[in-house]
Amino acid sequence: MEFFREAFPLHAILLATIAVFELFPLFLPRWSWGAEALYNLIIAASALVGRVRLHRMQDPVLSQRLGSWLCTASAVLSVILDVSSYVADSERACTPVRMQAVH
């Protein structure tokens, strides 16, 4: 139980680093994945803010329980976002298949 509290500084630094790295694609010229980068930034920032809020809670059991839900939700949202970007970009996925069928 103490590990949850002791891991906070490193976890906060890692989450902040992820949020900073998610900022870079938003400023690149002609970045075609701008919306996806923005969604990833929102997920990373929400995880960081949520972790800080959980660290400040008085009840460690409740904060760990909520933290596991927050971690699971952010991981699931990230995977859904990654998979949906491949499904939605049919031009990139279907063009090689069409080119093989032409021959």
pLDDT tens sequence across 66-87: 988 988 988 898 888 878 777 7
* Residue bearing the bigger pLDDT, 3 or 93: 3
Q: Can you give the pLDDT at residue 83?
A: 80
How sure is the predictor about 2, in pLDDT bands with cuts at 50, 70 and 90?
Answer: confident
What's the pLDDT at 90? Answer: 63
Over the stretch 13-61, which tens digit does the pLDDT of each residue have? 988 888 888 777 777 766 555 677 778 788 888 888 988 888 888 888 8
Q: How confident is the model at residue 91 (pLDDT cuts 50, 70, 90)?
A: low
The mean pLDDT value for 1-21 works out to: 82
- Tokens (6 digits) for 69: 């839900």
How many domains in the chain?
A: 1
Question: Do residues 51 and 15 make contact, with C-beta atoms less than 8 angstroms apart?
Answer: yes
Q: Which structural domain, as residue segments, surrounds residue 37?
A: 2-102
* N-term to C-term CA, the chain: 62
d(CA 63, CA 43): 19
6, exposed or middle or buried, with CB in 10 Å at 0-12, 13-18, 19+? exposed
Please report the pLDDT score of residue 98 as a whole number: 62
Query: CB under 8 Å to 66, separation ≥6 — which residues?
Result: 54, 57
